[in-house]
Amino acid sequence: MDLFDSLKQKIDGKNLTMVLPEGEDPRILEAAARLNSENILKPILLGDETEIDKVASDNSLDLGDIQIINPKNYSEFDDMVDAFVECRKGKNTKEQAEKMLLDVDYFGTMLVYLGKADGMVSGAVHSTGDTVRPALQIVKTAPGNSRISGAFILQKGDERYLFSDCAINIDPSAQELGEIAVQAAKSAKLFDIDPKVAMLSFSTKGSAKSDQVTKVAEATKIAQELAPEIPIDGELQFDAAFVPTVANQKAPDSKVAGHANVFVFPELQSGNIGYKIAQRFGGFDAVGPILLGLDKPISDLSRGANVDDVYKLSILTAALAL
C-alpha cells in the first residue's frame, strides 16, 4: 500500500488539526483545501482573513469551513501571551511576548503547545530557522532527546527509505549522531519501514582511516547501545549499505549491509546533498524535513515546496501526533 494511503487510514476519524501559519500563500491554501475536502484532517490557517479570501478567490479555491485565525485579533491572545511568558520562565517579558506572538510561526507553535492544534507545518515562505526556533523555545525536545534532527521520507513506487539528518545538525558529535540514528529508526516504524539502519561514511569497516570515520564508528556503537533491538551498523559506504553484491564483498558479516532502508549521514552537508540527488537524479518523492525529537509534531517545508509537498507533509506530521 502507498505510504500516504496507509497514513490516511491511520489518522482517519481522529479529528486531528494541523496549523498552517503561512495562510496567505496559494500553495498552502490549495493543500489546505484538498485536505479539508478529503476530510483527512482539519487545517487551521493563520493570516489576514481578507487577504486569504482574496488569494483563494484568485486561485478558484474553496476553503469551505476551514478555520482562519489572525493573530492580531485573536480573542484569546492575552491568555496566550501569559502562557508564553510562563513557558519561557523569565527569558521574555510580557511586552516581548506580545510582539513575538504576532509572528505566525510563534503563534502557530503556541497553538500546538496549548493543545489547540495537533501539529504544525511551516517553511514554504519562512526559513528553517523561523520554524525551528519557536519549536525549540516553546515545545522543546521530547524526554530522552537532547536535540532534534530533520528526516526525509524518500519514496518511488514500492521503494521507501528514510534519510537523516538532512536539515538541522551541521556537524554532530559521535554522541549526537548516535541519538540521531535512533530517532530516525524509531520514526521509520511510524512510516511502515522496518528499520535497518546504515551509518554512512566514505569508509566501510575500517577501509579508510580518519577522524571522520572514527566518529561514525563511535556513533554506531552508541546507537547500538541506545537501541539494541534495532539493526544498526556502520561505518558503511552507501554502496555497501544498499547493494547486496557489494555488501558481500565489503561487509559480509553485517546484518544491515546490502539491506539498509534508513540512512544516517555523518553531517548535514552530505545529508542535504544526498537526499536532493536521490530526488532529482533518482526520481524519488522526497517529503520533509520531518523534525524528529520534539515533544509535539512540527515539520519544516522547503521554500521550494509545491502543493503536493504541503499536502503530504501535513499527513506525515499528523501521523506523528498519534
Domains of the chain (ranges plus CATH)? 1-140+296-322 (3.40.50.10950), 142-293 (3.40.50.10750)
- Gyration radius (Cα) of the chain, Å: 21
What pLDDT is recorded for position 312?
92
- Give the mean pLDDT of the chain: 94
Distance of alpha carbon 276 from alpha carbon 280, whole angstroms = 6
Q: Quick check: helix, strand or coil at residue 16?
A: coil
What pLDDT is recorded for position 289?
85
The residue whose grid cell reads 526525509 is 152
Percent of the chain whose predicted confidence (pLDDT) is above 70: 100
Is the pLDDT at 145 greater than 90, yes or no?
no
Is the pLDDT at 21 greater than 80, yes or no?
yes
Q: Are 138 and 113 in contact (CB under 8 A)?
A: yes
What pLDDT is recorded for position 1?
66
What is the pLDDT averaged over residues 171-196? 94
What pLDDT is recorded for position 175?
96
240-294 pLDDT, tens digit each? 999 999 999 999 999 999 999 999 999 999 999 999 999 999 999 998 888 999 9
What pLDDT is recorded for position 92?
93
100-126 pLDDT, tens digit each? 999 999 999 999 999 999 999 999 898
What pLDDT is recorded for position 28?
97
211-242 pLDDT, tens digit each? 999 999 999 999 999 999 999 999 999 999 99
Q: Which of 163, 127, 45 is nearest to 303 (CA)?
A: 127
Residue 15: all three cell numbers together = 479529528
What is the pLDDT averaged over residues 163-184? 96
Q: CA end-to-end span of the chain, whole Å?
A: 20
Higher pLDDT, 128 or 263: 263
What pLDDT is recorded for position 265?
98
What pLDDT is recorded for position 62?
95
Q: Quick check: helix, strand or coil at residue 99?
A: helix
Is the pLDDT at 303 greater than 90, yes or no?
no
CA 256, distance to chain mean position in Å, is 24
Q: Which of 297, 162, 151, 141 is nearest to 232 (CA)?
A: 162
What pLDDT is recorded for position 287?
86
What pLDDT is recorded for position 302?
81
Q: In what order do the strands lie in the sheet with 262-264?
A: 67-69, 42-46, 17-20, 119-122, 298-300, 285-292, 149-156, 159-164, 262-264, 197-200, 232-236
